[in-house]
Amino acid sequence: MLELHDPVVALMREVGRDIVMPRFQNLSSDEINEKAADDFVTIADKESEIRLAEGLAAILPEAGIIGEETCAADPAILDRAGEGLNWIIDPIDGTGNFASGKAPFGIMVALADNGVTLAGWILDPLTGRLCHALLGGGSHVDGQQVQARESDGALPIAAISTIFMDPAERAAMERRSLASFTLVDIPRCAAEQYPRLVLGQNDVSIFARVLPWDHAAGTLFVNEAGGCCQRFDGSPYRVGDLSRGLMGASSPRLWDWAAATLFE
């Protein structure tokens, strides 16, 4: 995996510099479309994915391509996300923010083999921050190895996404969390949320919808940093498993406590 790191990072930085950032705060209305309610795509997403897919195919030709926008056009592609060796691409994570001309947003790439994430990269094109992780090789921010740390809040800090929960599930989650956590707004960007769990900004994060391009790189980054990211029932996350529910925490201790608080 180490031999892939430099070319993947170079490709992601090139895409951020040449495709994503020139469109930031520079999109016309006809360059933004709504795929579904509150789910946007821009011309930059499409162009970014094309360039990333071409570049990643050249770096590792034997791997398939599972891209967010390709799957939007042909949902059947998603059915093989957990089969064999695949690049997982989120060309712009946080597209709603990007389309509104505000941060955060990011580019996310992962490599998975039969559902197991082997490597993941998360680039913030605005700041240049690069988070990456290798299975069994730790997590790094801008080349420096990092260990996940809990916040120093009086209560654990939680960012809980209830966007894709039904009303009853949302009400139950809000009721159980109010007394036990300091609740903060979600960034509406997994490329930002996962680093926050490692860097001591958030302690717990809940995701209802689990699509591979949003979570493959981030779950590996948290787990390799010594945090804990698992399904609500404590089972490991696997690419290709589209069942709902994923929780990340800055430590295994906090994961267990949050699971007991929110789900039991």
3-state secondary structure 47-100: HHHHHHHHHHHHHCCCCEEEEHHHHHHCHHHHHHCCCCEEEEEEEEECHHHHHC
How far apart CA 12 and CA 177 sit, in angstroms, is 37
pLDDT value of position 37: 63
Report phi then psi at 40, rounded to 5.
-105, 155
E-assigned strands of the chain?
A: 32-36, 39-42, 64-67, 85-93, 106-113, 116-123, 130-134, 138-141, 144-146, 157-160, 182-183, 204-207, 228-230, 246-249
Buried residues in 198-221 as b, exposed as e (16+ CB within 10 A) = bbebbbbbbbbebbbbbbbbbbbb
Side-chain-side CA neighbours of 186 within 13 Å: the count stands at 17
How far apart CA 241 and CA 124 sit, in angstroms, is 27
Pair 118, 137: CB distance under 8 Å: no
Domains of the chain: 2-146 (3.30.540.10), 157-263 (3.40.190.80)
- CA 128 centroid distance within chain: 17
* Tens-digit pLDDT profile for residues 133-186: 999 999 999 999 999 999 998 899 999 887 777 788 878 788 888 889 999 999
pLDDT value of position 38: 65
* pLDDT tens series, the chain, 264 aa: 668 999 999 999 999 999 999 999 999 988 988 776 667 889 999 999 999 999 999 999 999 999 999 999 999 999 999 999 999 999 999 999 999 999 999 999 999 999 999 999 999 999 999 999 999 999 999 999 999 999 998 899 999 887 777 788 878 788 888 889 999 999 999 999 999 999 999 999 999 889 999 999 999 999 999 999 999 999 999 999 988 899 999 999 999 999 999 887
Helix 2-15 to helix 43-59 angle, to the nearest 10 degrees?
150
- CA 64 centroid distance within chain: 19
What Rg do the C-alpha atoms of the chain give, in angstroms?
A: 17
Q: Which residue has the tokens 């994060």?
A: 205
Q: What is the dihedral of CA 219, 222, 226, 228, to 10 degrees?
A: -50
How far apart CA 81 and CA 62 sit, in angstroms, is 14
